[in-house]
Amino acid sequence: MRYLPHGKEDRLAMLEAIGASSFDDLVSTIPEGLKLTREIELPPALSEIELTETLSLLAAKNASSASHRSFLGAGAYDHFVPHSVDHLLSRTEFYSSYTPYQPEISQGTLQTIFEFQSMMCMLTGLEVSNASLYEGASALVEAILMCQRTTGRERILVADTVHPEYLATVRTYLAPLGLTVETLPHRADGRIDDTALERAVDESTTAIAVQSPNALGVVERLDRVAGIARPRGASSIAVVAEPYSLGLLRGPGEMGLDVAVGEAQGFGNAVSFGGPYLGFLAAAASYLRQMPGRIVGETKDVEGRRGFVLTLATREQHIRREKATSNICTNQGLCMTAATIHLALLGKEGLRDVARWNHAAAAYALARLTQVTGVRRAFSGPFFNEFAITLPRRASEVLPALAARGFLGGFDLGRWYPEMERSLLVACTERTRRVDVDAFAEALQEVL
């Protein structure tokens, strides 16, 4: 087997060195009845040539943004990732190393995390960030639990336009802890109903979580959410599922929110059928010691050189066990590295320019698609790179016809909200070109 270095002679010599007459001597404490007496039933081993063929065939069965023109978003965004990112990620020192437990030989990973934390603070306008979490939904759970530890209160309010899979995840995690979530309604323009919010928040509210742009694509007035939460002592959580929006919209911290949490996949990571991605969590400085997950801090070595270490480990499971702030063990190292490299390439101007391209492409697409007979804008609230349109027919009937013409025409909102079965959520990125939008509008006209 090509992944196993020993030849037959090596094995015999090693057994002899150990003083065992056969391999069975080494597993003598496994009760006989539990030992497998036959090979595991699996397909036969493949050479690398056969394996390459098999995997190519499987991949060829899928429609991708390489085979189709895609307008799918809804929490996973097909941004252009510069080739430098993957080239650098393919350096074995990044992808075949592990958690930087030994800082002397892990400064590459540690400094990258420190740079990631720094940029997430800049983007969110907050003071501290961790080294990343699994993905957006479980990151929101961690943020809510962090606020709960901080405020010691019970009620958790979440806008009903937070990504439904985030909301479902929050419910899964909170159920065994005996905690429940109250949802807040949205208005006809797609924004959260601030009158309802105002009424709902009280002295027992631990946190309010609002997503912007929300699951309908609508940009929220997070400044107002912060204004309602703060006087009542509740934490305000901004949920961000499309990180590029931070290139056009003010950082949540600058608008007075306490916590920003969400999905940073769009920076450097492919959509990859849903994972691996990376969750991020940034907060005001007062939350630092209640944060979940890895955090890297700056320090010096014995010779006075700057270096970085995992820090505040007394929050974590390997030290605190059942008293830890989370059971999480690692971060999303490589996804975080991809995000950091991509952000470094984008830089100050690039991030703004790409965010503007996304927005302009979406604005053009909305204008163009609403020229199609019977198609109208679903919500009047402002949007970033994704918007909802209402069709004269069910989206589930229209999408297959569009796919047959080579378009993945967006997300059927009826899958999340049964009353929106005629609505389509359409996303654009910097990959979106004017010719694609024009062709999409024509195809939509034909199939309606």
Partner 1 sequence: MESRTLTPPARDREIRERRGLLFEESRRGRRGIDLPPPEFPEPSREIEDEIRRDLVDGMPELSEVEVVRHFTRLSRLNFAIDLGLYPLGSCTMKHNPKVNEWAARLAGFARVHPYTPERLAQGCLELMHDLERMLCAITGMDAVSLQPSAGAQGELTGIMIIRAYLAAQGSPRSVVLVPDSAHGTNPATVRFCGYTAEQVPSDEKGCVDIAYLDRRVDGEVAAMMVTNPNTLGVFEENIARVAALLHERGALLYMDGANMNAMIGITRPGDAGADVMHLNLHKTFSTPHGGGGPGAGPVAVKKHLEPFLPVPRIVKEGEAFRLESERPRSVGRVRTFYGNFGMFVRAYAYIRALGGKGLREAGETAILNANYLRKGLLGVLHLPYLGPSYHEVVLSDREIQKGTGVRTLDLAKRLMDFGFHPPTVYFPLIVPGALMIEPTETESREELDAFIAAMKAIVEEARTDPDRVKTAPHTTPVRRLDEVAAARQPRVRWKPDH
Of the residues 69, 186, 191, 359, which one makes contact with partner 1 according to CB under 8 A:
359
> In this complex, which beta carbon is closest to partner 1, that of residue 117 or of residue 206?
117
Q: Which stretch binds partner 1 (CB under 8 A): 148-156, 180-188, 227-235, 331-339?
A: 331-339
For residue 22, give the DSSP letter: S
Q: How far is CA 368 from CA 383, 400, 436, in A?
A: 15, 21, 11
Q: Which stretch binds partner 1 (CB under 8 A): 113-121, 191-199, 226-234, 440-448?
A: 113-121
Binding of partner 1 by 260 (CB under 8 A): no
Of the residues 11, 199, 232, 393, which one makes contact with partner 1 according to CB under 8 A:
11
Supply the minimum distance, in Å, between the C-beta of residue 203 and partner 1: 25
What is the number of other CB atoms lying within 10 angstroms of the CB of residue 224? 17
Identify residues 12-51 at the interface with partner 1 (CB under 8 A).
13-15, 17-20, 23, 26-31, 33-36, 39-46, 48, 51
Name the pairing type of β-strands 155-159 and 181-184. Answer: parallel
What torsion do the CA atoms of 249, 253, 258, 262 make, to the nearest 10 degrees? 40
Binding of partner 1 by 337 (CB under 8 A): yes
Q: How far is CA 44 from CA 6, 37, 39, 55, 94, in A?
A: 21, 18, 11, 15, 32
Length of the chain in terms of residues written: 448
> What is the size of the binding site for partner 1 (CB under 8 A)?
209
Of the residues 306, 371, 392, 446, which one makes contact with partner 1 according to CB under 8 A:
306
Supply the minimum distance, in Å, between the C-beta of residue 326 and partner 1: 7
Residue that is written with structure tokens 């927005």 in the block: 359
d(CA 34, CA 46): 28
Identify residues 177-206 at the interface with partner 1 (CB under 8 A).
177-178
Identify residues 393-432 at the interface with partner 1 (CB under 8 A).
399-400, 403, 408, 411, 430
Binding of partner 1 by 275 (CB under 8 A): yes
Supply the minimum distance, in Å, between the C-beta of residue 68 and partner 1: 8
Q: Which two tokens stand for residue 164?
A: 């439904």
Of the residues 188, 202, 286, 297, which one makes contact with partner 1 according to CB under 8 A:
297
Contact between 81 and 342 under an 8 Å Cβ cutoff? The reply is yes
Q: Which two tokens stand for residue 233?
A: 């002592």
The CA-based angle 131-133-136, given to 5 degrees, is 130
H/E stretch holding 226: helix 222-229
Binding of partner 1 by 8 (CB under 8 A): no
Binding of partner 1 by 76 (CB under 8 A): yes
Binding of partner 1 by 95 (CB under 8 A): yes
